[in-house]
C-alpha cells in the first residue's frame, strides 16, 4: 500500500487539494537522473562510514539502476502518493530491495532536492554556454565574410558614422562573451555540494559530506548546513544570466526586424527562418527575431518572480522554495531554443551590402571626419565643429551640396572634400576598437582568442 513519507505521525491521509497543490512530481521528474546520481553517492558514502553493509549497498545500487532504466524507458509506474521525484524513486527502490528503506539515512529531501537542482543547473548552464559560444562563432563567421562592407552606425536610431558591418556584428558577439562570463560565474556558485546537510542541521550519524561531494564531482562542499538547504542564490544567478542573454538577444532581434524591413532593406532573411502571412501573399515576416525580442520579457519575469518568492523567507527550507524549479526549467528551455533559432537565422541571412553602403555614403555621415580633418591641422575642435555645422546647415537649406560648400571654403577645399567620397569615411576610425576595417582586423584576432579562452 502506498502511503506518505510521514504516515507514522499522521492519522488521516492527505486531502486531494493538498496533493494537487503540493505535488511537484509533474515538473521535478525532469531531475530523475540527478536524483538517482545523488542517491548512489549517498549510499556509497553510507557504506564507507559503516552505516550500510556492502551487500545492502550493492542491492540498493542495483535497484537504483533498475529504476533509472524504468524511468528512461517510460515503464516506470508513478503512484498517487509519489509527491515528488525523490519520493517516487525511494518508494520504487524499496519495493525492489528492502535495504532501500535505509537509503534516506541521514538525509532529508531538503538537502536532497538542493543537491539534485544544483546538479541539474550545472549541466544546464554548460549547455547554455555551448549555445552562446555557437552563436558567437556564427557572428564571427558572418563578420569575416563581410570583409570591408560598411553600414551607417546609429545613435538615437539616427545615422551617425559609418562602421564596418563586421564591427557591428561583433559588437553583439562581445556582449554574448560577457554572458558566458556570467554563466561561468553562476556555474561556479552552483557547483557546491549540499548533501549531508540533512534537514537543516547536519547529522548525529557519522556522515562524510566530502565523500558524496567528490563522488558527484562537485567543486566545493557546504560550510553551513542551514545555508546549504536554504540557499537558492544559484537559481537566481542562473535566471539573471538567462535574462541578460534574453535582453541581448532581444536587441539583436530588434535590429534584424528593422534591417529586414522594406525601409532599411539591409538584410534578406532565409525562407527557412521566416514566416508568411495567412492573408497577405506578399509578406515575409521575421518571427524568430520578434520572438527573440518577446522572450526577453518572459525571462526577466522568471527572475523577478523568483526573487519575489525567496524574499523574506526565514531560514531554512520553506515549501515556497519548491517554486524554484518551473521558472528555472522554463528559462533554460527558452534561452536554449531562442539561441538556436537566432543562430540559424543569422547564419542564413543575406546582408545587402550595397543598400547598407548607399545609406552610409550620405555625405552628412562624414561631417565628423571633416571636423577632425580641421583639428588635425590645428583648429580647436569646438571651432571645427562650428565650421562644418554651418556647411551642413547651408546644404540642408539648399544653398548647394555639402561637397560644393566644402570645396568653396578656403579652410577646407578639395583635400577635405575628398573625405566625402563614397566609402572613405568608413575607413577613417582606425583606433583600437574602432569601426574601420583595419581596426576590426585586430579586433577579430582578439575575439577569436576570447572564444578559445
d(CA 182, CA 122): 13
Whether 385 is catalytic: no
Q: What are the CA-CA distances from residue 382 to residues 19, 371, 393, 395, 420 (Å)?
A: 73, 9, 16, 20, 21
At 201, phi and psi to the nearest 5? Answer: -125, 10
Which residue is listed with cell 497543490?
Answer: 21
Q: What are the CA-CA distances from residue 194 to residues 72, 191, 216 (Å)?
A: 26, 10, 11
**Which is nearer to ligand ARG, 42 or 109 (by Cβ)?**
109
**Which is nearer to ligand ARG, 123 or 294 (by Cβ)?**
123
Verify binding: residue 4, ligand ARG, rule CB under 6 A.
no
Q: Please, what is the minimum distance in Å from the beta carbon of residue 133 to ligand ARG? A: 31
**Which is nearer to ligand ARG, 50 or 312 (by Cβ)?**
312
The backbone region for 106, taken as left when phi is positive above 0, alpha when psi lies in -120 to 50, beta otherwise, is left
- Give the interface segment with ligand ARG, choosing from 293-301, 315-323, 391-399, 404-412 (CB under 6 A): 315-323
Q: Nearest CA to 430 among 369, 343, 342?
A: 369
Q: Nearest CA to 137 among 167, 169, 165?
A: 169
Verify binding: residue 84, ligand ARG, rule CB under 6 A.
yes
Q: Which of 124, 321, 336, 356 binds ligand ARG (CB under 6 A)?
A: 321
**Which is nearer to ligand ARG, 171 or 199 (by Cβ)?**
199
Other C-beta atoms within 10 Å of 340: how many?
Answer: 14
Q: Sign of torsion, CA 251 256 257 262? A: positive
- Give the interface segment with ligand ARG, choosing from 37-45, 164-172, 317-325, 440-448 (CB under 6 A): 317-325
Among the listed residues 75, 156, 204, 278, the single catalytic one is 156
Q: Please, what is the minimum distance in Å from the beta carbon of residue 157 to ligand ARG? A: 46
Cell of 231: 540557499
Q: Please, what is the minimum distance in Å from the beta carbon of residue 238 to ligand ARG? A: 16
**DSSP letter, residue 31:** G
- Prior bond of 112 cis (ω within 30°): no
Q: Please, what is the minimum distance in Å from the beta carbon of residue 223 to ligand ARG? A: 21
At 266, phi and psi to the nearest 5? Answer: -80, -25
Cell of 104: 534516506
Binding string to ligand ARG for residues 104 to 123, with x set by CB under 6 A, is what?
A: -----xx--x----------
d(CA 179, CA 35): 29
Whether 156 is catalytic: yes
d(CA 355, CA 362): 12
Verify binding: residue 232, ligand ARG, rule CB under 6 A.
no
Q: Please, what is the minimum distance in Å from the beta carbon of residue 114 to ligand ARG? A: 8
Q: Nearest CA to 103 among 150, 58, 60?
A: 60
Verify binding: residue 89, ligand ARG, rule CB under 6 A.
no
Binding string to ligand ARG for residues 15 to 54, with x set by CB under 6 A, is what?
A: ---------x---x--------------------------
**Which is nearer to ligand ARG, 5 or 392 (by Cβ)?**
5
Among the listed residues 277, 278, 347, 401, the single catalytic one is 277
H/E run at residue 151? strand 150-155
**Which is nearer to ligand ARG, 25 or 358 (by Cβ)?**
25
Within 13 Å and on the Cβ side, how many CA atoms surround 117?
Answer: 30
**Which is nearer to ligand ARG, 24 or 443 (by Cβ)?**
24
Cell of 445: 584576432
Q: Please, what is the minimum distance in Å from the beta carbon of residue 110 to ligand ARG? A: 5
Verify binding: residue 322, ligand ARG, rule CB under 6 A.
yes
Verify binding: residue 329, ligand ARG, rule CB under 6 A.
no
Residues 390-449 binding ligand ARG (CB under 6 A) are none
Q: Please, what is the minimum distance in Å from the beta carbon of residue 86 to ligand ARG? A: 6
Verify binding: residue 317, ligand ARG, rule CB under 6 A.
yes
> What positions carry a catalytic annotation?
156, 277
Q: Which residues in this chain contact ligand ARG in the complex, by CB under 6 A?
A: 24, 28, 84, 109-110, 113, 317, 321-322
Amino acid at each position: 500500500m502506498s502511503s506518505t513519507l510521514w504516515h507514522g505521525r499522521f492519522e488521516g491521509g492527505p486531502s486531494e487539494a493538498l496533493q494537487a497543490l503540493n505535488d511537484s512530481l509533474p515538473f521535478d521528474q525532469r531531475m530523475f537522473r540527478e536524483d538517482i546520481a545523488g542517491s548512489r553517492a549517498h549510499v556509497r558514502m553510507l557504506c564507507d562510514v559503516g552505516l550500510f553493509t556492502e551487500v545492502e549497498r550493492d542491492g540498493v545500487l542495483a535497484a537504483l539502476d533498475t529504476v533509472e532504466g524504468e524511468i528512461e524507458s517510460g515503464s516506470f509506474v508513478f503512484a498517487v502518493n509519489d509527491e515528488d521525484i525523490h519520493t517516487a524513486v525511494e518508494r520504487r527502490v524499496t519495493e525492489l530491495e528492502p535495504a532501500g528503506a535505509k537509503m534516506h539515512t541521514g538525509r532529508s529531501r531538503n538537502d536532497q532536492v538542493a543537491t539534485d537542482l544544483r546538479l541539474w543547473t550545472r549541466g544546464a548552464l554548460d549547455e547554455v554556454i555551448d549555445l552562446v559560444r555557437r552563436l558567437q562563432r556564427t557572428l564571427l563567421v558572418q563578420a569575416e565574410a563581410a570583409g570591408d562592407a560598411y553600414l551607417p552606425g546609429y545613435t538615437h536610431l539616427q545615422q551617425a558614422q559609418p562602421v564596418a558591418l563586421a564591427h557591428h556584428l561583433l559588437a553583439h558577439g562581445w556582449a554574448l562573451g560577457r554572458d558566458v562570463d556570467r554563466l561561468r560565474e553562476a556555474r561556479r556558485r552552483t557547483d557546491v555540494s549540499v548533501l549531508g546537510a540533512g534537514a537543516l542541521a547536519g547529522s548525529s550519524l557519522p556522515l562524510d559530506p566530502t565523500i558524496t561531494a567528490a563522488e558527484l564531482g562537485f567543486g566545493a562542499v557546504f560550510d553551513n548546513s542551514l545555508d546549504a538547504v536554504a540557499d537558492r542564490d544559484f537559481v537566481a544567478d542562473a535566471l539573471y544570466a538567462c535574462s541578460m542573454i534574453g535582453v541581448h538577444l532581444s536587441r539583436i532581434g530588434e535590429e534584424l526586424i528593422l534591417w529586414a524591413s522594406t525601409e532599411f532593406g539591409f538584410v534578406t532573411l532565409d525562407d527557412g527562418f521566416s514566416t508568411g502571412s495567412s492573408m497577405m501573399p506578399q509578406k515575409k515576416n521575421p518571427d524568430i527575431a520578434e520572438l527573440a525580442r518577446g522572450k526577453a520579457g518572459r525571462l526577466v519575469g522568471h527572475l523577478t518572480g523568483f526573487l519575489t518568492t525567496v524574499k523574506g523567507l526565514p531560514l531554512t527550507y520553506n515549501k515556497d522554495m519548491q517554486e524554484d524549479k518551473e521558472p528555472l526549467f522554463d528559462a533554460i528551455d527558452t534561452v536554449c531554443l531562442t539561441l538556436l533559432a537566432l543562430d540559424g537565422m543569422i547564419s542564413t541571412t543575406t546582408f545587402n551590402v550595397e543598400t547598407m553602403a548607399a545609406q552610409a555614403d550620405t555625405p552628412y555621415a562624414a561631417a565628423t571626419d571633416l571636423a577632425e580633418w580641421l583639428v588635425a591641422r590645428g583648429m580647436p575642435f569646438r571651432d571645427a565643429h562650428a565650421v562644418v555645422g554651418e556647411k551642413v546647415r547651408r546644404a540642408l537649406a539648399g544653398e548647394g551640396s555639402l561637397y560644393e560648400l566644402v570645396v568653396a571654403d578656403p579652410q577646407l577645399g578639395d583635400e577635405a572634400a575628398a573625405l566625402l567620397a563614397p566609402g572613405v569615411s568608413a575607413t577613417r576610425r582606425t583606433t583600437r576598437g574602432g569601426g574601420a576595417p583595419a581596426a576590426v582586423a585586430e579586433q577579430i584576432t582578439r575575439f577569436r582568442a576570447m572564444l578559445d579562452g
